[in-house]
Amino acid sequence: MRKMFSSFLLGLIFFTPLAALAQTNNSDYRQMGEALYQKGLYNKALDYFNRAVQADPNDWQAYQELGDTYLKLNDDSSALGAYNKSLEINPNNASLKTTVDNLQETTTPATQKDQSNFNALRQDHPAVANPWRKPAGASNDSLGPMSHSRSWLSVDTGYTYTNLGDLTTSADYVNGQIASSGTYTGLATADHNGFNIGAELGFLLNPYNGIALGVRAIAPNPYTSDINFQDGFGDYEDITIQPYLVPLTVDYYLFLPDQGGRFYLSAGVGYYVGSVHVDDAYTVSSGANSDEIIGDLYSGTVGFQLGIGREFAINNHLGLRIFARGRYAKISGFRGTVTDANGFTGDFGLMQDSSGYVFVDNVGNTGGPYAEHFATIDFTSFDLGVAFTFF
């Protein structure tokens, strides 16, 4: 009897520290896992939570935190297993039961998912919420795949209406002169219509905000002025001016996403590179003065743009965008080195005189009796177009 008591006492002496050590290890493992989880180190946290449940298989809280960590790592099946184990130990955990019910719905293809319940789960259980998660085909937050892609590339084209500024003033002046002279014939036109093509590379900050770098080319129809003086000597002046605009832009996007795509508003600034291709041919003073100036003149300015549109998801990697865009940019100082038909090379510019007439002349003639100055092309314009978006 004394020997049995001695053996029992010896076992008790050794068993009690070991049990306490096991309990201490379990608590330490769980606390370390919680600290790593809070820092977002989920893979390391997973290891410590697994050690915690091995050290104490009856620790329902460790199993629940293990499930939370699996969710962060997008392993729903393992998360469900850990949650169920926690409920076996502590079946009175009502909030965890709700989590498991919702998680089972999202991981069972044959079940019709209740999206409103799942969205409530994301609010009540932060471990599930992950706006960047992109499962095949759809996302758990009810937004389409384009709202979870980190970047996009769009290629667009469309119609552009451009103000044109001094070119419109010049056309009005020329047509007025032709109508009032009684002898001149001809016509001047400043066509506001044109087209645009462009591309942009965008980066999604989150499903609701993005930044994009863009480049596009805008080409209004050419300005033409054709005056025949009808003086019997063949005097005339024909001018063709083809303006172009290349905006290099940075835009901020505000997205309003849904499951089928997203609406958006955009605003940005850019450097607007302008060019004009000119062909100014004339014979005046009964043929004593004739020449033709053909070449390209350049200038630029800072402008800004606003946009609105809607993107429709075609599939997981392609969308169709319908958009409207407006911009503000007025450019003056168009000039370039050009050699005319008489062999003279000089610094020519797109000029306007005091009457409003736009033509090409040597920059050295600025001022003078006709108050020549650089003409301004108002590239303020409005676009309507479509784009394909790859994401």
Residue 25 confidence (pLDDT): 74
* 335 pLDDT above the threshold of 50: yes
The answer to the question of residue 162 being in a domain is: yes
Rounded to an integer, what distance in angstroms lies between the CA atom of residue 34 and that of residue 66?
10
Residue 107 confidence (pLDDT): 66
- Whether residue 157 sits in one domain with residue 123: no
Residue 286 confidence (pLDDT): 66
* 123 pLDDT above the threshold of 80: no
| Mean pLDDT of the region 149-167 | 96
C-alpha separations of 373 from 330, 346, 351, 353 in Å: 15, 17, 5, 6
* 232 pLDDT above the threshold of 80: no
Kindly report the CATH number assigned to the domain that includes residue 295.
Answer: 2.40.160.20
Kindly report the CATH number assigned to the domain that includes residue 98.
Answer: 1.25.40.10
Query: Comparing 128 with 69, which gets the higher pLDDT?
Result: 69
Tell me the three state secondary structure of residue 221: coil
Residue closest to 326 by CA, chosen among 213, 247, 210, 212: 247
- Whether residue 115 sits in one domain with residue 225: no
Radius of gyration of the chain measured on its C-alpha atoms: 37
Number of other CB atoms surrounding residue 227 within 10 Å: 23
- Whether residue 280 sits in one domain with residue 234: yes
Domain end call among 104, 130, 156? 130
- Whether residue 300 sits in one domain with residue 152: yes
The answer to the question of residue 356 being in a domain is: yes
- pLDDT tens for residues 240-283? 999 999 999 999 999 999 888 999 999 999 999 999 999 999 88
Rounded to an integer, what distance in angstroms lies between the CA atom of residue 383 and that of residue 249?
15
| Mean pLDDT of the region 181-187 | 90
The answer to the question of residue 330 being in a domain is: yes
Most confident of 5-14, 104-113, 170-179: 170-179
Domain that holds residue 125: 13-130
The domain tally of the chain equals 2
Least confident segment among 35-44, 89-98, 107-116: 107-116
Residue 99 confidence (pLDDT): 87
Rounded to an integer, what distance in angstroms lies between the CA atom of residue 228 and that of residue 244?
28
Rounded to an integer, what distance in angstroms lies between the CA atom of residue 340 and that of residue 242?
18
The answer to the question of residue 52 being in a domain is: yes
- Whether residue 115 sits in one domain with residue 154: no
Q: What percent of the chain has pLDDT over 90?
A: 56
